[in-house]
Amino acid sequence: DPSPESTFVCPIIIEDDRTGLDTETIRRALRDNLLYIQGKLPELASKNDLYMALAYTIRDRLLQRWLTTQQTYLKKDVRTVCYLSAEFLVGPHLANNLINLGIYEQVQKAVSESGLKLEELIAQEEEPGLGNGGLGRLAACYLDSLSTLEIPAIGYGIRYEFGIFDQEIHDGWQVEITDKWLQYGNPWEIARPEAGVEVKFGGYTESYTDENGNYRSRWIPDYVVKGIPYDTPILGYRVNTANTMRLWKSEACESFDFGRFNRGDYYGAVDNKVHSENISKVLYPNDEPIQGKELRLEQQYFFVSCSLQDMIRIHLHENPSLNSFHQKWSVQLNDTHPSVGVAELMRLLIDVHHFDWDKAWFITQNTFAYTNHTLLPEALEKWPLSIFGRLLPRLMEIIYEINHRFLDKIRIIYPHDDGKISRLSIIDESGEKYVRMAHLACVGSQAINGVAALHTELLKKDVLRNFYELFPEKFSNKTNGVTPRRWIVSSNPRLTFAITEKIGENWIKHLEDLRGLENYVDDGEFRDSWRRIKYDIKADLANYIDKKVGIKVDPSTLFDVQVKRIHEYKRQHLNVLHIVTLYHRLKNNPNLDITPRTFIFGGKAAPGYFMAKLIIKLINSVAEVIDNDPTIGGRLKVVFLPDYNVTFGQRVYPAADLSEQISTAGKEASGTGNMKFSMNGALTIGTLDGANIEIREEVGAENFFLFGLTTEEVYAKKAAGYNPQEYYYHNEELRAVLDLIGSGFFSRGDSSLFRPLVDNLIYDDPYMLLADYQSYIDCQEGVGRAYKDQEHWSRLAILNVARMGKFSSDRSIRQYCEEIWRVQPVKIELPDYIQANA
């Protein structure tokens, strides 16, 4: 906000060194920042010092764009999208900012003076791991597209001091290490302590009559926490728009309790400070399901309250009242994690700004929209009333009132259907009482969407069936997408060059233009160079694997990759069953002709998820045995790469030949890794699940390796009483494979180690691996055969890339803008003394 006391009228003079985009100016700026920000002489500077100096050099070039953007938004009083998300898995900023500014080459030259390569400095950046997986990464792709499409937007979230843990592998087991991403400072963020807000917790409520005789509620909290915003500019691709990602850090209002301090209780005096700071201390490392811990609810309420108060402050700066709030703000709830926002906006409007209920409810309902990301029943968030009421007593009252009014209306529609009423209620009263966050989100939102066509259909039919029946007009599908700027241009420069050479560079902003590549599938020279590029990228990855885990892999083998969170529904262990099947065949028939493969895995398990951790151990155990078996002769290699994250994703997607998307049908809401692989020329082996279905539709059935049960078949089998033992007893090879794992063959004779996993498959198999086993094995044989014909494989790979236009996050964001948010692009004009983007 411009301060009313501010009297500066003179424009900023041309600050060439902080804005110029040519090599010479950047070189000067780099040295300047090294000296005056890092405080280092060039000859004593470490790699990290140079990285920091470069990061500040680039940030300087973002600032004018960012400030101009914010000023334009204020002046034009625009409608703004607020994306509320407990996770933003943005990944490293430096390379993307260079690409979006269009100064990669200039900076490359400028940096070479230091004797280092730009790529080394880029590698120096500690990635902000403020998310678990797909949900957090989607939020980051959406911020990129919002800026690129010049849409006014703010991403609101939590500035976790410790993000997702670093993963190490010790003796084949996952070990979690604290992620100290802030330890050397974060040059991309700017703290705004002056925009701090307060958030209440605990205590009780009381009613009172105000001076006008109105009946009101007051919340007397137990404690109050301060939220401090940290802003990171998010620049769009080759536009001037730089939106804000505003993450909240929790702090104590008064760091010392002087009453206690004076009584000599020094440690007691800082208690409050410790508790307050804990709220934004650490990301909960569970992907889905979420963990029902009180601190998690504190985190959710904390960032949602901070964000809504922030919007209200900005709104009242430009508008006389909050009557028009819903016209100026569209707030997207990224899953139910921020859905307490529905009740919080009601509280702010009623208790603080003295709206009556109906008007407040109208504004609230027209402000929010809700995206659901999962069908897994255990991931549907609900909070015990005991916890919720104690921590947020005023919000509990408001939720009861919302529910009361909602159910009154429902009773008119379903007069004698108590079952319906209890199924729709925001409060689950079937046993211990809970607040159902998805119900709160559905009732309080103007729009509800799933993240892939199948997922949205299943929401309507199953998880949110009752709400769909009530308000069908609120429901729509928004298939996920990913940003080609990070997932092709930044991570795969060689492919980018090859594509651009043929079809120009328009595809980077209009991904459907990749269709133009179809004209080159029959061009033998193009296919040759395509293969050479893939080979070189695979050779790079092979070097990296050797450096990281000391395993030598051959880049001419088929790189078969599965990288994603480790979860039973994603079925990494089905992939292992295939590997063990091939191994078993080779043991029985050493001369068997198979396509040599390198299996690459990566992914983190939730620290408390035993089975997922056992799957990691199994992968590593199988890897070790195969690697030490001379009869295999390098025809099979298995590599588990520790610490899968955005940075490693950027390395591995471009190097893959085969993308494993093998979840049980009906379980993966969308998947987004599936899109990143295919965009980089990998073929997919997958089930009819999530966005796989749409990928197959786009690339054509003949360019996709399909296997497994459909969702309907999965449901039907479950209903008929699925018995995995039938498969175990009737499929000899499957039985041999499971028995081999169970026998202790891969665990140095310890037959108890993998027993829980094997028994779970034989006697329960909730994700139906055994039902899909044979179909998967057969399909993989087809993959092996197809890979042998390299010319044919290249054609398929090129077609995959050419037909991935739909899966740009630009397409997803356009749909959200038109169909849910109703927002328009706003052009940002830079002052003429700022050098325009290259």
Residues that bind ligand OX2 (CB under 6 A): 133-135, 138, 287-288, 335, 373-374, 379, 451, 480, 668-672, 690
Is residue 387 within 8 Å of residue 294, measured between CB atoms?
A: yes
Which contiguous run of DSSP H or E holds residue 232?
strand 223-235
Shortest distance (Å) from residue 136 CB to ligand OX2: 8
373 is catalytic: yes
Shortest distance (Å) from residue 88 CB to ligand OX2: 13
- Nearer to ligand OX2 by Cβ, of 373 and 617: the residue is 373
- Nearer to ligand OX2 by Cβ, of 450 and 642: the residue is 450
Catalytic annotation, pick one of 18, 460, 570, 613:
570
- Nearer to ligand OX2 by Cβ, of 121 and 135: the residue is 135
Is residue 541 within 8 Å of residue 834, measured between CB atoms?
A: no
Shortest distance (Å) from residue 691 CB to ligand OX2: 7
Shortest distance (Å) from residue 672 CB to ligand OX2: 5
69 is catalytic: no
**15 φ/ψ angles, rounded to the nearest 5 degrees:** -100, 75
- Nearer to ligand OX2 by Cβ, of 620 and 692: the residue is 692
At residue 620, what is the residue type?
N
- Nearer to ligand OX2 by Cβ, of 34 and 130: the residue is 130
- Nearer to ligand OX2 by Cβ, of 211 and 378: the residue is 378
Cα separations (Å) of 146 from 139, 371, 484, 489? 10, 17, 13, 18
Shortest distance (Å) from residue 147 CB to ligand OX2: 20
Task: Return the SS3 of 248.
Answer: strand
Shortest distance (Å) from residue 327 CB to ligand OX2: 28
Residue in 339, 342, 337 with CA at minimum distance from that of residue 326: 342
Catalytic annotation, pick one of 59, 534, 565, 811:
565
CB within 8 Å of 497: residues ≥ 6 apart: none
273 is catalytic: no
Catalytic annotation, pick one of 137, 328, 373, 696:
373
Shortest distance (Å) from residue 814 CB to ligand OX2: 17
**Residue ranges of the alpha helices (H) in 392-551?**
393-413, 418-424, 437-443, 453-458, 465-470, 484, 493-503, 524-549
> Residue 103 is encoded by which pair of tokens?
């100064």
Catalytic annotation, pick one of 59, 337, 347, 676:
676
Q: How many CB atoms sit inside 10 A of residue 596's CB?
A: 16
Radius of gyration of the chain (CA): 28
137 is catalytic: no
> Residue 738 is encoded by which pair of tokens?
């499971």
Is residue 188 within 8 Å of residue 93, measured between CB atoms?
A: yes
Shortest distance (Å) from residue 133 CB to ligand OX2: 6
Return the beta strands (E) in 632-738 as ranges.
636-640, 658-661, 683-686, 705-706
Task: Return the SS3 of 744.
Answer: coil
Task: Return the SS3 of 776.
Answer: helix
- Nearer to ligand OX2 by Cβ, of 580 and 615: the residue is 615
Name the one residue in this structure whose structure tokens are 């799957």: 615
Q: How many CB atoms sit inside 10 A of residue 782's CB?
A: 13
613 is catalytic: no
- Nearer to ligand OX2 by Cβ, of 227 and 450: the residue is 450
- Nearer to ligand OX2 by Cβ, of 272 and 449: the residue is 449
Is residue 254 within 8 Å of residue 272, measured between CB atoms?
A: yes
- Nearer to ligand OX2 by Cβ, of 126 and 668: the residue is 668
Shortest distance (Å) from residue 376 CB to ligand OX2: 8
**Ramachandran area for residue 834 (φ above 0: left; ψ -120 to 50: alpha; else beta):** beta
Shortest distance (Å) from residue 665 CB to ligand OX2: 13
Which contiguous run of DSSP H or E holds residue 224?
strand 223-235
- Nearer to ligand OX2 by Cβ, of 496 and 674: the residue is 674
Catalytic annotation, pick one of 672, 684, 687, 711:
672
C-alpha neighbours within 13 Å on the C-beta side of residue 455: 27
Shortest distance (Å) from residue 370 CB to ligand OX2: 12
Residue in 709, 715, 674 with CA at minimum distance from that of residue 692: 674
Name the one residue in this structure whose structure tokens are 């000023």: 71
Query: Strands 368-371, 329-334: parallel, antiparallel or unpaired by DSSP?
Result: parallel
Shortest distance (Å) from residue 285 CB to ligand OX2: 12
The DSSP line for 155-206 is: EEEE--SB-SPEEEEETTEEEEE---TTTT--TT-EE-GGG-EEEEESSEEE
Gap between the Cα atoms of 93 and 99, Å rounded: 10
Residue of minimal Cβ distance to ligand OX2:
134
Is residue 198 within 8 Å of residue 226, measured between CB atoms?
A: yes
Is residue 96 within 8 Å of residue 486, measured between CB atoms?
A: yes
3-state per-residue secondary structure call for 4-33? CCCCCCCCCCCCHHHHCCCHHHHHHHHHHH
23 is catalytic: no
- Nearer to ligand OX2 by Cβ, of 300 and 672: the residue is 672
Catalytic annotation, pick one of 564, 573, 617, 667:
564
Measure CA of the first residue to CA of the last residue in the chain; give whole Å: 30
Residues catalogued as catalytic: 373, 564-565, 570, 672, 676
